[in-house]
């Protein structure tokens, strides 16, 4: 049975503003699920999920178990680079968000979808891998490192193209993934991405050697997410 999801592309928004917005949706869904807020039409009604696509201005975010030591510049240097920094309540370590990157925030009820958190993260990775396949690239998973990676015989180390960090409560998810499309990769040089010092980062633009149509990539990614999770867009 398909899971109904509202799709929202909210354009370019600041991280703090977007975090507050997704928390409102998340909290509302949890309240309704736990009976602290009445259903609009009967007890059997299944509230829809929400998928938010957004681009953020330059910002570094740190997961709840991450280390600030993985931010390699101080706050004066951050300001000089027009970047912000936030500690978050998601999983994972430190990552960068910025222009030319698709950040996806799925606020889904995994209980309705009948999947585990592990299966959900696998599905996010699979949707990105399928999207990369559309563009003729081979994405992969690596043991012990969540996300999607590009590896080949030429490069000296694997490179992450999509980071994933989520939070779940009562089987409801928030936060999500960051897919590098036309991203300025220089900003990753100021952190140990996701806490790793032995792995690189890449983007769709870098791999294909030409800037990409961000709207086309969004539509491909949305389609693959719909297919992987059997979503019905409303």
User: What per-residue confidence (pLDDT) applies to 65?
Assistant: 79
Strongest mean pLDDT among 25-39, 75-89, 158-172, 193-207: 158-172
pLDDT in tens, 59-113: 999 888 778 888 888 888 888 889 999 999 898 888 899 999 999 999 999 999 9
pLDDT exceeds cutoff 60 at 44: no
User: What per-residue confidence (pLDDT) applies to 187?
Assistant: 92
Please give the domain boundaries of the chain with CATH numbers for all domains. Answer: 3-233 (3.30.930.10)
pLDDT in tens, 107-141: 999 999 999 999 999 999 999 999 999 999 999 99
* 15-52 exposure pattern, b = at least 16 Cβ within 10 A, e = fewer: beebbebbeebbbbbbebbeeeeeeeeeeeeebbbbbb
By percentage, how much of the chain surpasses pLDDT 70?
Answer: 91
Which active-site residues does the annotation give?
194
pLDDT in tens, 160-193: 999 999 999 999 999 999 999 999 999 998 887 6
By percentage, how much of the chain surpasses pLDDT 90?
Answer: 71
């Amino acid at each position: 049975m398909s899971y109904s999801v509202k799709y929202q592309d909210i354009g370019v928004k600041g991280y703090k503003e977007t975090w507050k917005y997704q928390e409102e949706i998340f909290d509302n869904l949890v309240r309704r699920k736990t009976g602290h807020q009445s259903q609009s039409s009967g007890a059997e009604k299944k509230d829809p999920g929400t998928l938010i696509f957004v681009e953020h201005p330059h910002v570094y975010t740190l997961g709840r178990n991450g280390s600030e030591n993985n931010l390699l510049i101080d706050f004066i240097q951050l300001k000089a680079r027009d970047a912000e920094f936030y500690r978050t309540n998601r999983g994972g370590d430190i990552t960068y968000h910025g222009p030319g990157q698709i950040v996806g925030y799925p606020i889904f009820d995994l209980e309705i979808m009948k999947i585990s958190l592990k299966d959900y993260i696998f599905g996010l990775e699979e949707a990105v891998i399928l999207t990369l396949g559309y563009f003729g690239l081979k994405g992969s998973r690596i043991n012990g490192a969540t996300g999607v990676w590009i590896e080949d015989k030429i490069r000296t180390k694997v490179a992450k193209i999509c980071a994933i960090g989520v939070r779940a409560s009562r089987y409801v998810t928030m936060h999500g993934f960051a897919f590098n499309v036309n991203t300025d990769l220089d900003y990753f040089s100021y952190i140990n991405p996701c806490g790793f010092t032995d792995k690189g980062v890449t983007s769709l633009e870098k791999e294909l050697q030409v800037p990409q149509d961000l709207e086309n990539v969004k539509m491909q990614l949305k389609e693959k997410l719909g297919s992987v999770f059997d979503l019905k867009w409303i």
